Structure 1
Amino acid sequence: MPVHFAAAHGTLSSIWLLVAIPLASAAILLLFGRFTERWGHLLGVASVLASFILGLIYFFSLRGLSSPYRAASLNLFDFIPVGGLKVQFGLLYDPLSAIFVLLITGVGFLIHLYAVGYMSHDEGRRRFFGYFNLFVAAMLLLVLGNNYVITFVGWEGVGLASYLLISFWYDRPAAATAGKKAFIMNRVGDAGFVTAIFLMFATFGSVNFADVFNGVASHGAGQTTILILGLLLLLGACGKSGQFPLQAWLPDAMEGPTPVSALIHAATMVTAGVYLIARSNPLFTANLTLQTVVVAVGAFTLLFGSIIGGAKDDIKRVLAWSTVSQIGYMFLGVGLGGAAYALALIHLLAHGFFKAGLFLGAGSVMHSMKDRTDIRRFGGLWRYMPITWATFGLGYLSIIGIPPLSGFFSKDPIIESAFNRAGWTGWLFGSAALLGAGLTAFYMTRLFVLTFHGPKRWTEDIEHPHESPAVMTIPLVLLAVGSIAAGALFVYSPFNVKDWLRPVFNNPAAEGHEHIGQWWATGMTFVVVLIGLAIGLLLFRRGTAPQEQPAGPVVAAARANLFGDMFNETVFEKPGLYLTRALVYLDNRGIDGLVNGLAALVGGSSGRLRRTQTGFVRSYALSMLGGALLIVAAMLAVALG
């Protein structure tokens, strides 16, 4: 059946307000300067709360639609009316965008509320909330666009806002460098996305979702074209979601304020790549090779991130590499196709709760410990920060998949689906996902134990660690509730995500074989998780020395990010630098040298010829005589020859 999105009407005809409200708030905060200093942060929080309330209203309105696709499309105005390319500035509100809207605005509101306390003494608080609102508005536009061009506009808006937020403390060299790194690496992925848009228009004559998906279904493109399109989109997705080979920017994003880390890593930017692949599911489902590439990227990245996370000592960087790994599970799910699309989205939603809680919990610890981040210098904080300890602990148990917390309901089914993929690749990718679960339990246990348990190891200048104020702990408690209940809610409640997303993923289930059953997968995963937890507990229950310890080759490699940065520097950065220097030399000595040389030749010759123009008649007569003699001599030579 052809894809068709009905025009929005009634309540859903105002979905543009979801983007307009936080965007207007950002404009007020950034353009009206000191006028908003006293109350700007309250406006920033209120705007996201308003979008969340509207999101709930639109969600229930969408549930009442009876169309097969349960979707409402709204075209606002002509965006690019150029020749044969007609692009509307249009929005699409369907089950997929609806759950992203609620995640972005719901978790985003809690992070904004937390930031009121976290940024209370920062001189740039107004500017911070302006950037924060801009980030939310751009992410909402990304998930609400009804064509790839509008999605790309939101995509670039998120990239701009992330640069502004990561480098918020621009007077710190590390923050400025991290912002530039994120911006540049994302431009690499964005080049793939925009090239895919050009190829879509050349192939299907349109960039609207419905037209592209119908073109794929009607075999309007060959398998090679679909493969190239999918790989280009995958490159863009890897950039935004920090997946291999464009993962290096994501941990460095920790240089921004902690609420930025929570917003980027939990509810917004890193989920954009997963959204892009899920939204483009008809295209990815049409090519098995393309699906295999996505699964391979996810499986490799989830192991890559979890290995590095086990060797980091900075509390936020451990969580950052954890995000790289957990997004790998989501890529694994969307790559498996069929019912696994919904499984990936369930994990994405659950991850939004427990990862936001973990990051904000890390910020609470830093707030108490004078912005220290080295977990080797913490210990025993559970006595001083009971709310942070409890909420962080629930997030920790959820991410490692302890039942009945949300991670158990979201990650275990992805592992089972990976094992049950057809052929030997099922065993390969399933084993990678299972090993990743054990590594996650290990490094998260290490993080939790070193931070909150064992003997205290902080220095004398930190006399009285204390609990954070209520404006910070209330969001922690609410996110902890999500860590507990979100998984079961998304799987078993009347609002379960699988049924809700059925109109979006209306393709047949991916072919597979039941290599292992559900209980076998759950049992194996639980045992592996307990092994990882036990190893972490045994090794670090008494703490660890604050000074640098001699490391074996595996730990040394993990601390060096498995040489990912070295690889990028050797393969891309240095050759690019040398090429740039060579081109500059060629420009200076070659092109400029040729141009300047010709100019000098003409100028010098003119200067010398000018000396013959003396103005004396005798000189001109002598010249004429000399010329006449030369002509006579030439004529005689010809005659005698």
Structure 2
Amino acid sequence: MLLPLVIGLPLLGFALLGLWGRRFGEPASGWVASLLVLASFLLGFYLLLQGGARWTLAEWLPGIPFSLRLDNLSGVMLMVVTGVGFLIHVWAIGYMHADPGYSRFFSYFNLFIAAMLLLVLGDSLPVVFIGWEGVGLASYLLIGFWYTERVNADSARKAFIVNRIGDLGFLLGMGLLWSMFGTLSISELAQKVEEGGYSFASLTLAGFFLLVGAMGKSAQVPLMVWLPDAMAGPTPVSALIHAATMVTAGVYLLVRHAFLLHGDAFLSGLIVAVGFLTAIYGALCSLGQWDIKRIVAYTTLSQLGFMFVAVGVGAYWVAIFHIVTHAFFKALMFMSSGSVIHALGGEQDVRKMGGMRKYLPVTHLHALVATAASGGLVPFAGFWSKDAILAYSFEYGPWLWALMMGASVLAALYSIRWYVLVFWGEYRGKEHPHESPAVMLWPNHILMGGAVGVGFIGLPYVIDYKNFLEPFLTQAIGDFPHEKLPVLTEWALIVISAVVAIAALLWGFRFFQRPMPDWYERFQSAALQGFYVDAVYNALLVNPTKALAGLLFGGDKGLLSGFGGLGGL
């Protein structure tokens, strides 16, 4: 009975703060929300130490139980969601100070954590789907939190609608799996797939539908257009939803269903292609942005592409490993950005920043570590997970390794560009910057420790033959054996990866401090517009649909006025 309580605690926070948040006031609302998330973390950690847990309500829907499962895979995700989530909650206590919607914000924040935990712990697909829709609802509420400004409300709607496209894929996948196997329990589906006796074409189609769902939630090409606009919400929202948790849900869904994907050359190739395109697209767009949060948003898009490539090449544990390292360094990157925004009275244009290392020395240290981890500098956390993806890519094909190495060079460049524009040079604005309060600095200290050290739980076999994470996750994901690379090849890949990251960071550090050449400014103007993908979507999809809607509405009005006239007669 303790397992539903893990989800119930933040849900209780949502209800309490939603109904009586104004009576709690500030900062009590923030601390109530934060401590309930911490309680979920401690309870989940305790159950994980006990060897996991299951909870089932047998009679829920006809033939479908309401079942929850805490195993090693969902346990790692639970630790990330509640652990990093707790730190972001505490940081938000300082960031949201004096906001008129303070308690409403923390109410939504707790709703999001509860929905994400339901998604992660669900052992039947309809239960996962409730959590899936719950995080969609919470992200809509949080992105449009400052709804009095039209642009924020529009961004929230855009995120919600684009995600519905992916959710349709999820629903179709569920329907097909039900028709094939007569169950939607993930544990039972794994058994039935192992037993065989099904149509391979149908299974591939079901896997494809689930992939469409994952592409929507994890903002993969071509459903990636909602993520940069989601920066309209407060910075803690960006850190929680678009770095540590919700956008990784699609990757988690694919890893949980590795038994559907493994050995299917079509699906594996498609996932690799989608992941690589997203990694490159996000990286190139990031290099053209001027808004500090949109720079980091596009870097998230790129890193999610790396996770998809890991799933496509069969490195399921590595995909989760990258989720863990990314949660630390990307949340730190967003929250360092938030500290700068806070110091500059809400300014988000990096052209009006610069020289922040003199004014915000502690935040500068956080940003430096986040940059090193994001750029893949050895021995920071991002290096080890990225290197593991590159090693598995080499096994898949040296051509893929070369392409992903190019993507990792871009990752180093966009990380160092963000750092240089904000923290180096001379201050170009008019505000008087001030360091953040302790309630905002301490969570970043802890995240900084994770960005430095969490990579050591998944070292390559030539350094640590039985690293902690691989056998731990394999128990839950399933063992899909593969040939390890020869020792010399593995070492060569590690050294090349390390040297390339150092060279790219050094080159970028010098390049972005100089005036930009003409070719870069031309590239930047296209990247700033996301290479006009939104304009193409508007021309091909949005505007024709609006015109059709206008036509139908005109017909409706004519028909109704005719009936009105007939009634009058």
- Contact 1:416–1:516 at 8 Å: present in 2 too? no
* Cα deviation code 1:155-180 (max 9, x no counterpart): 00000000000000011111111111
| 1:74 aligns to 2:28 (yes or no) | no
* 1:312–1:516 CA distance, 2 compared to 1 (3 A): farther
Of 25, 40, 55, which residue of structure 2 is paired with 1:37?
Answer: 25
The offset of 1:313, in angstroms, is: 1.1
Where does residue 469 of structure 2 map in the other structure? 497
> SS at 2:418's partner residue?
helix
CA distance in 1, matches of 2:487, 2:454: 29
Where does residue 470 of structure 1 map in the other structure? 438
CA distance in 1, matches of 2:389, 2:557: 56
Of 42, 49, 56, which residue of structure 2 is paired with 1:60?
Answer: 49
CA distance in 1, matches of 2:205, 2:372: 40
Of 454, 458, 461, which residue of structure 1 is paired with 2:429?
Answer: 458
* Cα deviation code 1:436-474 (max 9, x no counterpart): 111111111111011111122113xx1x21110100000
The residue type equivalent to 1:48 in the other structure is: V
Where does residue 557 of structure 1 map in the other structure? 526
The residue type equivalent to 1:75 in the other structure is: T
- Contact 1:410–1:487 at 8 Å: present in 2 too? yes
The residue type equivalent to 2:433 in the other structure is: P
CA distance in 2, matches of 1:187, 1:416: 35
Where does residue 580 of structure 1 map in the other structure? 549
- Contact 2:329–2:447 at 8 Å: present in 1 too? yes
Q: Matches of residues 149-548 of structure 1 in structure 2 within 5 Å? A: 149-337=126-314, 340-421=315-396, 426-459=397-430, 462=431, 464-491=432-459, 496-509=468-481, 517-541=489-513
Where does residue 7 of structure 2 map in the other structure? 19
Count of paired positions: 564
The offset of 1:317, in angstroms, is: 0.6
* 1:33–1:14 CA distance, 2 compared to 1 (3 A): closer
* 1:493–1:370 CA distance, 2 compared to 1 (3 A): farther
Where does residue 133 of structure 1 map in the other structure? 110
- Contact 2:58–2:64 at 8 Å: present in 1 too? no
Where does residue 113 of structure 1 map in the other structure? 90
CA distance in 2, matches of 1:51, 1:210: 24
> SS at 1:420's partner residue?
helix
> SS at 1:75's partner residue?
strand
- Contact 1:131–1:165 at 8 Å: present in 2 too? yes
The residue type equivalent to 2:122 in the other structure is: G
> SS at 2:474's partner residue?
coil
CA distance in 1, matches of 2:237, 2:465: 32
CA distance in 2, matches of 1:107, 1:382: 25
The offset of 1:511, in angstroms, is: 7.3
* Cα deviation code 1:203-242 (max 9, x no counterpart): 1111001222222222243121111111111111111111
TM-score, normalising length from structure 2?
Answer: 0.94
CA distance in 2, matches of 1:328, 1:516: 28
The offset of 1:523, in angstroms, is: 2.8
The residue type equivalent to 1:393 in the other structure is: L
* 1:133–1:77 CA distance, 2 compared to 1 (3 A): farther
CA distance in 1, matches of 2:273, 2:403: 10
* Structure 2 unaligned regions, length at least 5: none
* Structure 1 unaligned regions, length at least 5: 1-12, 63-70, 605-641
- Contact 2:354–2:423 at 8 Å: present in 1 too? yes
* Cα deviation code 1:414-447 (max 9, x no counterpart): 01211220xxxx2343222111111111111111
CA distance in 2, matches of 1:516, 1:290: 31
CA distance in 1, matches of 2:302, 2:382: 14
Tell me which structure has the larger Cα radius of gyration.
1
Q: CA RMSD in A?
A: 2.3
CA distance in 2, matches of 1:19, 1:495: 30
The offset of 1:480, in angstroms, is: 0.3
CA distance in 2, matches of 1:563, 1:513: 41
The residue type equivalent to 1:411 in the other structure is: K
* 1:261–1:603 CA distance, 2 compared to 1 (3 A): closer
- Contact 2:328–2:450 at 8 Å: present in 1 too? yes
